[in-house]
Structure 1
Amino acid sequence: MRPAWSWQFDKPAVRDVTLPITREWAWGGSSGDDVKVAVIDSGISAHPAVGPVAGSVAISVAHGRVQLDEGPHDDLFGHGTACAGIIRRIAPSCELYSVRVLGATLSGTGAALLAGVRWALDAGVDVVNLSLSTKRREHFAALHELADHAYFGNTVIVAAVNNTPAISYPAEFSSVLSVAACAGDDPFLVRYNPSPPVEFGAPGIGIKVAWPGGGTVTATGNSFAAAHVSGLAALILGKHPGLTPFQLKTILHAVAC
């Protein structure tokens, strides 16, 4: 009797990625067409730098019960709009989805976060931008299960690490793309860190971001670096649909400087 899964390797080998990998090969000519990106954050407000939002859901928790309200909503803080503007700048043709799990103080519950990730996965998005994290160990198992579900379902989760040296779930999971900020204002800049758990660096220090009301502010944070990587992921998937998260990490590693 053969060991389980050994039959998978009876199939002819297929190479989906050709070497060498360059930026031109990775995303040249792409604008992120047909790529769905969920921004799980404080909401997305109408803004010229963001453009249309393909779908929205506001998630709240009251008396231990999770409530999902689908439909347009405002950004309760500004953070989600900032992240969405970065993604739109890099991948102008992607489809943005707003999943509001944070409130006016940029805080939320673990239950809302879990529900937001589930909603995004059920909606069949290609990229989940998580410019947020939790330190709470009690959410580890459920988040890990969702991250694995996304990984094996070819949904890429891009997660920012905490702005302070602290535990960051789900950014510390190997199934996600973990991101921290680096200096620079080139939206296509990506750096690789050979000493994980943080894998990639992208612009997030003193950059101009969209803000509710139609203007911009100058902001710093790992959140905005994650949005840059989500935008690059959308570009790559727009040109090479069907790539796995593993393959996408390989491409970002190859083009990193």
Structure 2
Amino acid sequence: MSLTPANTPPPWRREKRAHFPGVPAWGLATTRQAPERFQVSPLAEVTKEWAWGGADGTGVRVCVVDTGVDAAHPRVGALERSFGVVSVEGGGLAVASCDPVDPAGHGTACAGVIRSIAPGVSLTSLRVLTDGKTGSGDALMTGLAWAIDAGFDLVNLSLSTTRSDFRQSLQELADRAYFRRCLLVAAAHNMPVLSFPWTFSSVVSVAAHDEADPMRYYYNPAPPAEFHARGVKVSVAWPGGREIRSTGNSFAAPHITGICALILSKHPWLTPFQLKTVLYLAADNTTTQNGEVHGP
């Protein structure tokens, strides 16, 4: 078996494989076609240096699904593209190009955090919210489905919905993203209520801790919030070139998104469950093989 040629798309971006006659659906006739060798990275001794040392996010595409992003802000920098969910004739919704602006500030804040951690990352804005707090569930579903199918490596979702009627559709989208190796990083709700999609196992769910180090994060052994990252009194970018300090799980999630971008930049063949494993093994409260923790 040979490694996949560099000029071919990775398995998760290819068209579905043709069905093999005489083999159950989704099966592989290994007597006729050798299994493809997959380029994995050994995880036996994961450290922060191994995980992202020397990486800056180059080669990784991130979509910020939020209120829009102010591309003119110096802490954000250039965007690959800027899109928004718009109404179309006949009453439906679609994703269309729009100006790189943010009338609310929330998306700009999240994008600035990601850029501060992974300066080489490619950022795209997708506006699904209006004033930083509200937006229709249909707009979220339309935007998220588009982002998954557009082939982004990471999608930052510093938002959630408490509406149970969207749960099944959101879960189906989260599963679709998982198998396409489009990892959703979702902020936990700021209130102790049930909401989605951060409570799904197929996403990386993030809540805040109150320390100042942007690279310090913790694994949470009592999910559904799987990780804790900086999210209290965070200096964030705000439209018009401003900076403010804000608190919330919304700002913890992009810290993890940025760290994930660093990891994928250095190890581009990691799948979602492998990436979660790397995050877990490199967290500041997990022990190394020598019984020591990564943090001081």
Equivalent position to 1:218, from 231, 245, 260:
245
Q: Which structure would you say has the larger Rg?
A: 2
SS at match of 2:96: strand
C-alpha separation in 1, matches of 2:82 and 2:170: 21
Point out the more displaced range, 61-70 or 32-41.
Answer: 61-70
- Kindly provide the amino acid, as one letter, of the partner of residue 235 in structure 2: K
Partner of 1:206: 233
CA shift digits 1:81-138 (9 cap, x unpaired): 0000000000000000000001025210111101111121122110000000001111
Is the Cα–Cα contact under 8 Å of residues 131 and 226 in structure 1 kept in the other structure?
Answer: yes
Partner of 1:30: 55
Tell me, which stretches of 5 or more residues in structure 2 are unaligned? 1-21, 285-296
SS at match of 2:212: coil
Query: Deviation of residue 208 (structure 1)?
Result: 0.4
Equivalent position to 1:113, from 140, 149, 153:
140
Is the Cα–Cα contact under 8 Å of residues 62 and 153 in structure 2 kept in the other structure?
Answer: yes
Question: Relative contact order: is structure 1 or structure 2 higher (C-alpha 8 Å, sep ≥ 6)?
Answer: 1
Q: Cα–Cα, structure 1 residues 64 and 90, in superposed 2: closer, same or farther, change >3 Å?
A: same
Percent identity between the two aligned chains: 49
Partner of 2:205: 178
CA RMSD of aligned residues (A): 2.1
Partner of 2:76: 50
C-alpha separation in 2, matches of 1:58 and 1:229: 24
SS at match of 2:208: strand
CA shift digits 1:53-100 (9 cap, x unpaired): 001111135885214321323102000000000000000000000000
C-alpha separation in 2, matches of 1:47 and 1:123: 25
- Kindly provide the amino acid, as one letter, of the partner of residue 149 in structure 2: D
Written as runs of structure 1 = structure 2, the 5 A alignment for 1:9-88 is 11=35, 16-45=41-70, 46-61=72-87, 64-88=91-115
Higher helix share: 1
Partner of 1:164: 191
Partner of 1:90: 117
- Kindly provide the amino acid, as one letter, of the partner of residue 33 in structure 1: T
- TM-score normalised by structure 2 residue count: 0.82
Partner of 2:172: 145
Equivalent pairs counted in the alignment come to 257
Runs ≥4 in structure 1, deviation > 4 angstroms?
Answer: 1-15, 61-64
SS at match of 2:62: strand
